[in-house]
Amino acid sequence: MPKQQLITYFDQFLALEEEEKNALVERTQERKIKRRQFVLQEGDVCRHYNFVVKGCLKMYSVDENGTEHNLQFAAENEWMTDLGSLFSEKPSMLYIEAVEPSLIVRIEKEDLKFFFVNYPKFDRNFRVMTENKYVELQSRLLQNISSSAQERYLQFLANYPHLSNRLPNTQIASYLGITPEFLSKIRKKIAGR
């Protein structure tokens, strides 16, 4: 049951009371996403958080040359949203797309506010999740400006061990800011150790 997986996720931070679990079930929506289907497109205002029950999502931008730049992946028991668009209510500059057929549970912004006001545990849980993601993004930014491509790839493997065999080279290379050909060279070098 997808919503039960979401409840289990929250229980690992602060165990939910029965009333909180019931509210979570009532105020979230399950959605099946086909491979390559968008959850958010550039120009749309983001209005929800997405919890991945099954599958994998990617968040990316596309530059003026049509090149895709992957910012983040989210697989089972991970979240994805465009926080900037969600809270500013301005059009997103990002896409969120399914890399694999996926099942997600969505929390709309208005329901999120309801949880924050009526059930303080959710406010704390989302704050901790956001803080953890911020720390992860700071670390990634520092890596991008101070690490070699091989070091970034090894860190990708450490951060996403469950995705390295599920994502095509093009997706991983885009995330690392290198070409797929260069990623192949790095993989061969690591395998030859």
Q: Where are the domains of the chain?
A: 2-118
Mean pLDDT of the residues in the chain: 93
pLDDT at 151: 94
**pLDDT tens digits for range 48-90:** 999 999 999 999 999 999 999 999 999 999 999 999 999 999 9
State the CB neighbour count (10 A cutoff) for residue 28: 22
pLDDT at 29: 97
pLDDT at 192: 81
Q: Taking residues 156-162, what's their average pLDDT?
A: 89
State the CB neighbour count (10 A cutoff) for residue 110: 10
pLDDT at 6: 94
pLDDT at 48: 96
**pLDDT tens digits for range 113-143:** 999 999 999 999 899 888 988 998 899 899 8
pLDDT at 129: 87
E strand residue ranges, 63-125: 68-74, 79-80, 95-98, 102-108
Report the C-alpha dihedral over residues 25, 28, 31, 33, rounded to 10 degrees: -130
Nearest by Cα to 125 from 56, 47, 51, 39 = 51
Judge: domain 2-118, CATH 1.10.10.10: no
Q: Is 80 exceeded by the pLDDT of residue 176?
A: yes
Q: Is 80 exceeded by the pLDDT of residue 193?
A: no
Q: Is 90 exceeded by the pLDDT of residue 14?
A: no
pLDDT at 1: 78
